[in-house]
Structure formats: C-alpha cells, structure tokens
Structure 1
C-alpha cells in the first residue's frame, strides 16, 4: 500500500472518514500507517470497509495505536485465547445492552484511547452506530459557558453504569457469572474534567458520559443535574453527528477522547455480532 492507493473520504463535516485502498490482513508500511494515524486525529472516526481479517490481524492493527486492554469483568464475553477481544453477540436470547450516548469506560482513571469494532454478523435492518464530535460540542458553546465548564469536573462511577439504572448490563454480567455489585463494590469513583485538551491535536473537547457520571463536583444537586441535562441534550445536536450504517466486515475505530457514540438497539430480536477491542491511553488527565 502506498499513499497513491490509500484514499481518505470525509463522511460528514463534523467527524468520520472512510479509508479505502487498505488491506488490514497485511502489515502496514510506515508511510501508510502515518497517513492513517493522521486521518485518525483529523477525523476522530475511521471506517475501513470490507476487511476480511482474523482476530490476530485485527489485534496487530489495533496495537499500532497502543497497548490493548483486558477488562476483568468482560472476560466471560471474550474469545478463547484472545482476552483483549470482546464478542458482542446479540439476538433474541441476548438483548442489546447500553442504548444511550456514552464514551467507553469513563469510570476508570485512564479510560481507553480508542475503541475498535469489526462487524461479523449484521441484522437485515437497523443496528446503526451514531458518533458525536465532542470538539464540535465544545466549540459550539458560548464563551461564558466554555469558561464555566473548563473550571468544573464530573465524578464518574462504574457502580452507576453497572447498577440498577442500567439493568440490562447488570443482567448480562449476572448471566455470565459476575455479580456486578460485588465486583465493583471497592471500585472508587474518579473525577475527570468536563473539558479535556486532546494530547495530540491540542483541541478542547467536552468529556461527559451519562452512564457513569453521578454529579459535577462542587455544585448543589439541583445545579449539577441542570448542567448535566443541558450537556446530554447538547451532544445530541445533529450538526455534531455522523451516523454509520454497517456493512459486513467493516472495521471502525474511534477516538474516545473526543467523541461519544450510541449503538442504536432497534434491531432486536435480530442477530448482530461484533468483535471489540479497547486501546489503552498512556496519557494522564
């Protein structure tokens, strides 16, 4: 692969680009990798169509971005011999889980840099994934609101994300032998700033994730909830969003530091199978 064969096609003004002319079953040459890395930082979400790859080849590509994470509570959902690869399998017996806007694993001190999905089985209809640019969400705020949010931090708690508020996730873990209450009982909440500066691009982005956030530090309960409700509606603004309609063997990678996503659960009870990997972020807040 050379830069002459690699093509980058933006998919919306806000974020997202299709990368063609790439075969991820083969080793990437350095020139091609540098072009992909730049596109990742330019567009936040990259789509690689028609990638017939093995799990080992998927891992090799993901590891170009960083170390792959192993999540202890997700081990029952992973592929044998590949603890980094989660098997997201939904059908009539396994309903879809989280059907709300979020960024992955924000309840940890160092959330993942990025997430990668490879589509294996798709429903005939439905199952799209929406992505929202948190760069755009921040930049669309008025200067006084930017200044306010830049001074504030939100508390993120895994016990909320895997608690009764999101019972489908709790039930899914329980069916696979994990008691979420016990597993996360000693997992301390963490605080993340409501506005983060991306370590590579230098752009500011909103950082909030509804399943995990319990409150904004230093505000009254009413003040905190009013601001959070505003942010949750604000990130849904159409101009910030790219909607991806999946095709079989699409590989999609997104930057958790500057995006949120929503996996639309409208395909139930049809079958959908995705392989997922999380890439570790070595940078501190």
Structure 2
C-alpha cells in the first residue's frame, strides 16, 4: 500500500525531498488535532520515506507532544509513556516537561555533536523515532544530514548481507559520551558520567534489524556507540565496523535538511542515521526534541 492508495479522504499531500529518503507533508496544522484519514496518510508516508517534514509551524510543547504520540506504533505496557526520557539527557530537559529536551546552542554553548549516529542505540529499547522542532535557526549552517540504513544494507553484496545478518553488535552509551563538553554538562547537573554509565551494561542488538512495520532490513549500528561484534576478535570487529561506518556515509544514501524556523521533523531511528552539522557557532540555534519509545530490537 502507498500513500496514494489511502489519501482519498485526506487533505494531506506528500512530496518526496530526495531519492534516498524523506518527504515533506502539506496540509498539516500541528496546532490542531489530526483526524484519522490524515493520520493514515502521515503514517504511511513515514513508513515509505523514514523521515517526514512539516514546515511553517508555530507550536507549543503540548502540540509537539500530541504529534509525537501519533507515531507510537507499538503496544506499550500500561502506564508507560510513548515518549522516552533518559537520565543522561537530563541536563537538556525543558523545565516542567521531562519528556522534552531543549537543545540550545549559542556563543556561550558550542554544539557538541558532529558525527553520524543513531539515537540511544546503547539501550535495550532504543527510541523508534525522534521528533525535532526548530524554534530558532542560524541564518546559515546547522543543517542535518540523514542516511538510509535500508539503502546501505541493500547496496551490499548478497554474501555480505547473509554474513551480517548472522551477527550481533555491542553498543556502549559510555563510549558515546566520552566528550569533554558533554561530560562537563553532566557534572554541572550533579551527574558523574563514570558513575552513571557504570550502571548501564552495553546493549547487544542484531547488526541487521527488520523493520517492524515495513519488513525492510536495515543496518543497525552507530559509530560513537558500537564497540564490537559478538563472536569476532577485536581486530576482526574493528576492521568490519570501520568498513560499515564508511559504507553508511555514502552520499547516495543521504538527504541534507536545511532548517527553517518552524520546521518539525520526525525520523525513524530504526531506518536512519543522522549527522547534525556543527558549523554555526557562535550563532544561536534552539531545538525542542521528543523521542518516541521503541522496543527490544529483533532480527526477524
């Protein structure tokens, strides 16, 4: 089924933004509840393109939360919020909204992330999606690149695909936070990075995951987090992972988003990696981020 098949009763239109991934949605007003025919088109576009973009929005935290909750495709246990929050990001939490991060950079706070990654892959239940709202953007710079891990997997030879499908990778959140700026921010909030991450054992996930909605296979790894492969020697794992990290950065798999104030993006962490380009210091950039809960990653 495609968005054209289900769009008869909807005012939402879908416009792909690249051959690799991503679609812009028109006919969506996030200040208002969205009816089910429109949600059907939005969810199908998300499944088809892994990234959906809504422009020109002036929304509240509650508006963003309502939008984010519409992407929860999983049956969650009773009492569990579809928006996940982790203690290690508490230094960014928006006051009064523990499910919302305020990512604010300016002359006094340099951007700290400038590498390809998948959000929170080092947990047993990484978030299925990220929702990011651009409140303030620099005049130039601050773009975000996205890469399709579906395309990255499909571009490999069949023997390599079969080999990778048999493997599990190890992901360590502590490794990803070995960054002086992030460690300092944690300590200012009273969190000792070594003590905090010592409580989190590295997570093990299939190196190739099957998307629970589309059934499409994707590479599932993240250079800042992924430290090894079960059953391989350190040397073998390093060699294979370096090949895959480089392979995932192929421009043929990518879309580059140039942010405008009022943009709201939702991307599928089960299918994409992203790279926030840290090239805009000392200019101001303010984003509000929410994450949609995921589940334990499964191979099939």
Q: Is the 8 A contact 1:154 1:191 kept in 2?
A: yes
1:163-182 deviation line (CA, Å, top 9, x unaligned): 2xx33322222233322111
SS in structure 2 at match of 1:18? strand
- Partner residue in 1 for 2:184: 171
* Structure-2 separation of matches of 1:36 and 1:108: 28
Identify the match of residue 69 of structure 1 among 84, 91, 99: 84
* Structure-1 separation of matches of 2:22 and 2:180: 31
1:90 maps to 2:96 = no
1:132-151 pair list within 5 angstroms: 132-151=147-166
- Partner residue in 2 for 1:122: 137
Greater displacement, 172-181 / 120-129:
172-181
Provide the TM-score with structure 1 as the length reference. 0.96
Count of matched residue pairs: 283
- Partner residue in 2 for 1:43: 49
Identify the match of residue 233 of structure 2 among 220, 235, 238: 220
* Structure-2 separation of matches of 1:89 and 1:4: 36
> In structure 2, do the counterparts of structure 1 residues 174 and 131 end up closer, same or farther at CA, with 3 Å as the change threshold?
same
* Structure-2 separation of matches of 1:80 and 1:4: 36
1:82-130 deviation line (CA, Å, top 9, x unaligned): 1000000011211111210000000100000000100011111100000
- Partner residue in 1 for 2:30: 24
1:100 maps to 2:115 = yes
Structure 2, unaligned stretches of length 5 or more?
Answer: 1-6, 73-81
- Partner residue in 2 for 1:113: 128
- Partner residue in 2 for 1:78: 93
1:160 maps to 2:175 = yes
1:56 maps to 2:62 = yes
- Partner residue in 2 for 1:263: 276
Structure 1, unaligned stretches of length 5 or more?
Answer: none
1:238 maps to 2:244 = no
* Structure-1 separation of matches of 2:8 and 2:140: 36
Q: Is the 8 A contact 1:98 1:169 kept in 2?
A: no
Deviation at 1:158, TM superposition (A): 1.1
- Partner residue in 1 for 2:3: none
> In structure 2, do the counterparts of structure 1 residues 2 and 29 end up closer, same or farther at CA, with 3 Å as the change threshold?
farther
* Structure-2 separation of matches of 1:62 and 1:2: 24
* Structure-1 separation of matches of 2:149 and 2:165: 14
- Partner residue in 1 for 2:220: 207
Q: Is the 8 A contact 1:98 1:168 kept in 2?
A: no
SS in structure 1 at match of 2:180? helix
Q: Is the 8 A contact 2:50 2:271 kept in 1?
A: yes
* Structure-2 separation of matches of 1:186 and 1:264: 31
RMSD of aligned Cα (Å): 1.4
1:137-176 deviation line (CA, Å, top 9, x unaligned): 000000111011111111011111122xx33322222233
Q: Is the 8 A contact 2:13 2:26 kept in 1?
A: yes
* Structure-1 separation of matches of 2:45 and 2:253: 18
SS in structure 1 at match of 2:198? coil
